[in-house]
Chains A and B, each alone.
Chain A
Amino acid sequence: MLTKFLKKESVKQFAISNIVSIIFIALSLIGMLLSELGSVYIFNELINRISRNSFLVLSLLIPILAGLGLNFGLVIGAMAGQLSIIAVTYWQVDGILGFLLCIVLALPIGILFGYLTGRLFNATKGQEMIAGLIVSFFANGLYQFLLLVMVGTVIPMKDSIMIKPDGIGLRNTIALNGVNGDGGIKYALDGIFRLNLFYFIIILAILLLIYSIYQIMNLNRNIKLKKPRETYIGYTAVSLGLIVISVVTLVSDSMFKNLKIPLVTWIVIALLCLFNRLIMKTKLGQNFRTVGHSQHIAKVAGINVNRTRIQAVIISTVLAAWGQIIFLQNIGTMNTYGSHMQVAMFSIAAILIGGASVSNAKISHAITGVILFHMIFIVSPTAGKAIFGDAQIGEFFRAFVVYGVIGISLALHAWKKYKLSKM
């Protein structure tokens, strides 16, 4: 298997099909070397950002598979999440209870917003991406009107510290850590249980070990397997290696042994991955795939194309709302008029960096994308400072990369499609 992998053509093919990700691995390695940040700091920050953002990025998958392209309307889902957070913070429901209430409240708002966005996308077929981008600006105007003008005048919201001193409109930033710094929904999910990263790795490695040994034993009993024997032997070796590394780190006095992961958040993210996998196996998922493949064939096959597309957008919007709630409970403060604005752009850039395209995306793309994208994010300001003596240049470079990645990936995809259609 390994020899086959190392053959020249397959390496070349692998490199071409993952060119974006490879460039980003190189960029982040260079950035890491230049930035002079401690690796413990980088890892800590990375774990934090993975738990914060993965849910949002994963919410992009279903519309892509349903042929709607990248959902630039994600911002609208984020708004739904923020509206429910505002309500829950106003009612002062704290902790995990408040968090769950947010999730429940965001569901109907997300469904409504998703339905409306879906209707719009059906009216702008072939232009969904630019329509998504512009509808997010449009909705932002309405959102500001609601929270700056209606609150305090039409919507009664008295005696809350969230209101501006003159009694009308919400403040710019809203603290989510309750009235006196305790309570609120800050860390409601992340803080439930934090597990040492290396215990987590050991547990995963042991599970993998048991699985591979079980499969190898199956092989001896002549039961047919999905993968060749070498793969499972490889798994065994890797898991043993991981266990050894983890144990060594834990007994040594390296700083790494203090890295912790928010276990519950990671379980929630894993559940979403599972949901994405399972839904594609259902009738609905098959419809998504058919519509994504060809609307014409789907229509001939008796699928209600427009309804299927709306369903995909609704699912994405609701997931984005929940993703934004997870994001904000980790951050701990909400920028009322700004937190939602860049959600779509960052998530889309992340999934594209992970190797997804406008018409195909996998869970693995989303996860790799989040890791690579945030790696660049963490190191670029300090790297910019190290090279140019100006941290601002790193920030601009970061924005340039984000927009550039989106532009170039979309362009490459469109170019491929255009070439194919001419053939």
Chain B
Amino acid sequence: MKVYIDKIGIPRLIIAILFIVVLVTANFQGLPMNMLLSDVVKRFGMYGILVLAMVPSIQSGVGPNFALPIGILCGLVGAVISIEYGFVGFPGLFMAMVFSLPLALLIGYLYGKLLNAVKGSEMTIATYTGFSMVQFMCIAWIVLPFRSTKMVWPIGKGLRNVFTIEKTFGNVLNNLWHFDIYGVHIPTGLILLFLFTCFLVFLYTKSKTGTVILAAGMNPEFAKASGVNINRGRIIANMVSTVLGAIGIIVYSSSYGFVQLYGAPLYMAFPAVAAILIGGATAKRAKISHVIIGVLLFQGLLASSMPVANELFPEGNISEMARMVIQNGIILYALTKVKGGKYVD
């Protein structure tokens, strides 16, 4: 028994049980289960790639990518340019990714350089780098000369806080080959894209570069001894992570139907970090399976607990508090498992 618990991991076990309990409660409350499950599946596809962005970063030994907002900003720039040029439907989605790619590669490279210079305290620095870039882009959203009436304020300057992309590339993935099973809506395109990206990252980790980075992340001393260039590996991993963040937010926005600018990306790294950690990853080791399990459990729990909690406690926003406590509790738990350099018992 104990062996099994150790294998699954206590947080994963607790969250899984909680998820099941919430689903059962929802059923007894008479909530429409098909709607609930549709939401769970949709969120799984929406958040998947953002969580996947944690994998290369963790594998290279940098720890979870707390600077995910940087990648997200690159994606948003791509999305905004694509809309500005009037691309619609699949070309719109595709061009958003194309526009964001060079930017994400460049920024990811610079960010990797930064992280190589500050080995040992990546996480705090990453968090604040991400925060400051979000604020910097807030100024950019106002100042940059975008004209498309779909995005700018009718009066005044700059882009709107939130704007719909219903008429451009919103929901194109969700509506691709979509079908219903027992009333549960399956957004096939969205899920397939996520699984395909997972497959690509899987291939990358099995490639020569990926294996080298993995070895370097696991044991820097060993990697050094066998002549592996750790710094180069860390930079590549961060570039991949940033690109995934950019693609992730484009897919997220498309599925959500809205693009959110300004302060919205500020706290987006934390749910993604929590999700992969629930999936069974540690701050030192992550696999694709951790991403899939983690997103399903964490986003599933959030999606299903909201209506259940509102039914049980009409007062206050219980599910928001639960999200804060669970999400950050998990990150804290994972941090206690990281042994720092200057550890003394």
Contacts and interface: CB of A to CB of B under 8 A. Distances in A.
Interface of A: 72, 120, 123-127, 129-131, 133-135, 137-138, 140-142, 144-145, 148-149, 153, 166, 168-169, 295-296, 299, 305, 388, 390, 392-393, 396-397, 399-400, 403-404, 406-407, 410-411, 413-415, 417-418
Contacts of B157: 390
Interface in B317-345: 317-318, 320-325, 327-329, 331-332, 335-336, 338-344
A120 B338 CA distance: 12
Contacts of B131: 403, 407
B275 to A, nearest CB: 15
Q: Which among A123, A126, A142, A407 has the highest number of chain B CB atoms within 10 Å?
A: A407
A392 B134 CA distance: 15
B121 A129 contact: yes
B146 to A, nearest CB: 15
A397 B139 contact: yes
14 contacts: A123-B336, A127-B335, A130-B123, A131-B332, A133-B127, A135-B328, A137-B328, A141-B321, A141-B324, A168-B316, A397-B135, A399-B135, A410-B121, A417-B120
Contacts of B123: 127, 130
Contact of B129 (A126, A397, A407): A407
A148 B317 contact: yes
Given A130-B127, A410-B128, A400 B135 contact: yes
B118 A411 contact: yes
B342 A126 contact: yes
Interface of B: 66, 114, 117-121, 123-125, 127-129, 131-132, 134-136, 138-139, 142-143, 157, 270, 313, 315-318, 320-325, 327-329, 331-332, 335-336, 338-344
Contact of B143 (A126, A393, A411, A414): A393
Given A414-B125, A417-B120, A418-B119, A138 B324 contact: yes
Given A140-B324, A392-B142, A400-B132, A126 B341 contact: yes
A148 B321 contact: yes
A407 B131 CA distance: 9
Contacts of B322: 141
Contacts of A166: 315
B135 A396 contact: yes
Which 6 pairs from chain A and chain B are nearest by CB?
A: A126-B340, A141-B324, A407-B128, A403-B132, A414-B118, A138-B328
A79 to B, nearest CB: 13
A158 to B, nearest CB: 16
Nearest to B313: A149
B212 to A, nearest CB: 22
Contacts of A406: 128, 132
Contact of B332 (A126, A134, A388, A399): A134
Contacts of A296: 342, 344
A402 to B, nearest CB: 8
Contacts of A127: 123, 335, 338, 340
A124 B335 contact: yes
A345 to B, nearest CB: 9
A400 B340 CA distance: 30
A413 B344 CA distance: 22
A143 to B, nearest CB: 9
Given A125-B340, A138-B328, A417-B120, 13 more contacts: A120-B332, A124-B336, A125-B339, A125-B343, A127-B340, A130-B124, A135-B332, A145-B325, A149-B313, A388-B143, A400-B139, A407-B131, A410-B118
Nearest to B140: A396
Nearest to A166: B315
B324 A410 contact: no
Contact of B120 (A140, A141, A399, A414): A414
A248 to B, nearest CB: 43
A414 B342 contact: no
A171 B131 CA distance: 29
A400 B157 CA distance: 20
Contacts of B335: 124, 127, 130-131, 134
Contacts of B139: 393, 396-397, 400
B331 A126 contact: no
Nearest to B136: A400
Nearest to A413: B121
B125 A411 contact: yes
A299 B342 CA distance: 12
A295 B345 CA distance: 10
A126 B324 contact: no
Contacts of B327: 137
A60 B128 CA distance: 18
A388 B157 CA distance: 10
A137 B128 contact: no
Nearest to B344: A295
Contact of B114 (A141, A145, A411): A411
B161 to A, nearest CB: 11
A390 B142 contact: yes
Contact of B119 (A141, A299, A414): A414
Contacts of B119: 414, 418
A130 B339 CA distance: 14
Nearest to A135: B332
A227 B268 CA distance: 55
Nearest to A124: B335
Nearest to A396: B138
Contacts of A410: 118, 121, 124-125, 128
B343 A126 contact: yes
Contacts of A404: 128, 132, 135-136
Contacts of B138: 396, 399-400
A399 B262 CA distance: 12
A133 B157 CA distance: 34
A237 B210 CA distance: 69
A407 to B, nearest CB: 3
Contact of B344 (A120, A129, A168, A305): A305
A125 B341 CA distance: 8
Nearest to A384: B139
A134 B157 CA distance: 35
Contacts of A130: 66, 123-124, 127, 335
A134 B323 CA distance: 13
Nearest to A389: B157
Contact of A411 (B117, B270, B324): B117
Contact of A145 (B124, B129, B321): B321
